[in-house]
Structure 1
Amino acid sequence: MQQLDFQLERDFVELNQLLKLAGLCDSGGAGKALVASGDVHVDGVVETRKTCKIRAGQRVEVGDVRIDVVAG
């Protein structure tokens, strides 16, 4: 499994934007489609809210990629 650390510079980032910023998709729209597919897990639970707020301390998993969100 590939692990990425994402440095959060503000209070939260929307899930679709996180996927874009982490390089897992090319745009926010592609991020929304990825979330809608049911392949995105937040803290071990399938997340279907495309713009849910992701905060420091949370973990996002897509396929074999894990993103740990850390305070910047």
Structure 2
Amino acid sequence: MEPQSVSITTEYIKLEALLKLANLVSSGGEAKCLIQDGQVSVNGQVCRMRGKKLRPGDRVAFAGRELTVQ
């Protein structure tokens, strides 16, 4: 599957905010649970830090979808 690009206008975006911005979750609470359950990976590594700062070039995988921060 082709990665979906998500554009940000700041230096970074937090992981939970990226999942909400990309409409992969409906709330911050849902994002928190999924991240803490180890269902999200960042640059190929499982990430359990919902406040993880993502910068352009970072790749996030969740539920069979892949996002690239632009």
With the shorter chain as reference, the TM-score category is: over 0.9
Provide the residue aligned with 1:20 in structure 2: 20
* Partner in structure 2 of residue 65 of structure 1: 65
Q: TM-score, normalised by structure 2?
A: 0.93
Q: Which residue of 2 aligns with 1:29?
A: 29
Q: Any unmatched runs of 5+ in structure 2?
A: none
Q: What per-residue deviation string (whole Å, max 9, x for no partner) do you get for residues 4-59 of structure 1?
A: 10001101111011001100000112111110110100000000111110111100
Match of 1:9 in 2: 9
* Letter of the 1:36 counterpart: Q
Gaps in structure 1 of 5+ consecutive residues: none
User: How far 1:2 sits from its partner (Å)?
Assistant: 5.4
Question: TM-score when scaled to structure 1?
Answer: 0.90
- CA RMSD across the alignment: 1.0
- Identity level (%): 34
How many residue pairs are counted as aligned between the two chains? 70
- 1:56 aligned residue: 56
Structure 1 residue ranges, 4+ long, deviating more than 3 angstroms after superposition: none
CA distance in 2 between partners of 1:21 and 1:30 (Å): 13
